[in-house]
Amino acid sequence: MKTAARSDVIVLGGLTMDLTYFVKQWPKVNEAVQASSYELCPGGKGFNQATAVKRSGGIVNFIGSIGNDNFSKQIIGNLKKEGINADGIINYKDIRTDLIGIIVDPSGTPGFIGIRQSTYQLTPNIIETKISLIKNAKVLLVNSEVRLETVIQALTIAKTSGLITVYNPAPPEKLPENIYKLIDYFTPNIWEARMISGMNNASASELATHFKNKGTGTALITTGRDGCVVASDRGLKSYMAFPINEVDETGAGDTFCGYFAYHLSKKEPLEECIRIASAAGALACTKVGGRSAPTASELKGFLAKNKGRLL
């Protein structure tokens, strides 16, 4: 039997093809809008997060599933190009690879429409066959692209195996009460946090406190240009965002999570993990597409220019 490769971070999430349209305005009902340009490339929150881990300097393994089509071949090729271990990826012959449509307006704000077919094939039973991959990692980074019961199974295995667990609950859905005790770091954006909690008008501080009280180790609510708010055992604290000229914020959250998870695996202080992840997320907004994570050297240069800046 092949020995599972060791990693800094094991990512469980989606592998998709992303079709991104750049438009001057959002289409209204029955209106046809011409895009100024488009991109077709592999993506998915899982792929984007794994790419961020790898570009940050980490060793990353991936658990995911794809179909049997030209899209799946492009995805595997891009995984190899990024240096992401694909041993945990399952190819289903009778299923199509997931496709996501993205519309980006001039402000860089994206909207999404998609279908999950291949990703939904990942069941708790499948995760049981990937236990060695999970146990050989330092951090589990998982999102809600996969089935909720699969998320819970992965978090349970990781938690009992001594891993740090990071859960990015996107796309958002109502969560069972028993999931929170399995989460060391809970990282929704403010819109996702409001959807999950039902607190539609709550502030980031109120939401962070709410999820901390639910049982998560640390609740970290990202708010885009306004930075993030963190509720931990040390209390509540706000962090400013890095100022940038934003082009497309599609992959910013995934980049934040990937860099955050990797630096957690290095056992760096929480504030340093947030500083680095915030800078990486900001840089991602200056590029087009979901897999817009900067390299470690690009981030180093950006941080050097912002050396005197405090969070």
For the stretch 287-309, pLDDT in tens is: 766 578 999 999 999 998 887 55
Low-confidence residues of the chain: pLDDT under 70? 1-3, 288-290, 308-311
For the stretch 25-37, pLDDT in tens is: 988 999 999 999 9
Q: What is the pLDDT of residue 310?
A: 47
Q: What is the pLDDT of residue 309?
A: 54
Q: Is 61 flagged in the annotation as binding? A: no
This prediction has a pTM of 0.92
Q: Is 298 flagged in the annotation as binding? A: no
Q: Is 225 flagged in the annotation as binding? A: yes
CATH H superfamily, domain 7-27+34-298 = Ribokinase (3.40.1190.20)
Q: Is 284 flagged in the annotation as binding? A: yes
Q: What is the pLDDT of residue 148?
A: 98
User: What residue ranges do the domains of the chain occupy?
Assistant: 7-27+34-298
105 catalytic, yes or no? Answer: no
Q: Please state whether the peptide bond connecting residue 171 to the residue before it is cis, i.e. omega within 30 degrees of 0.
A: yes
Instruction: Point out the catalytic residue in the list 8, 98, 184, 254.
Output: 254
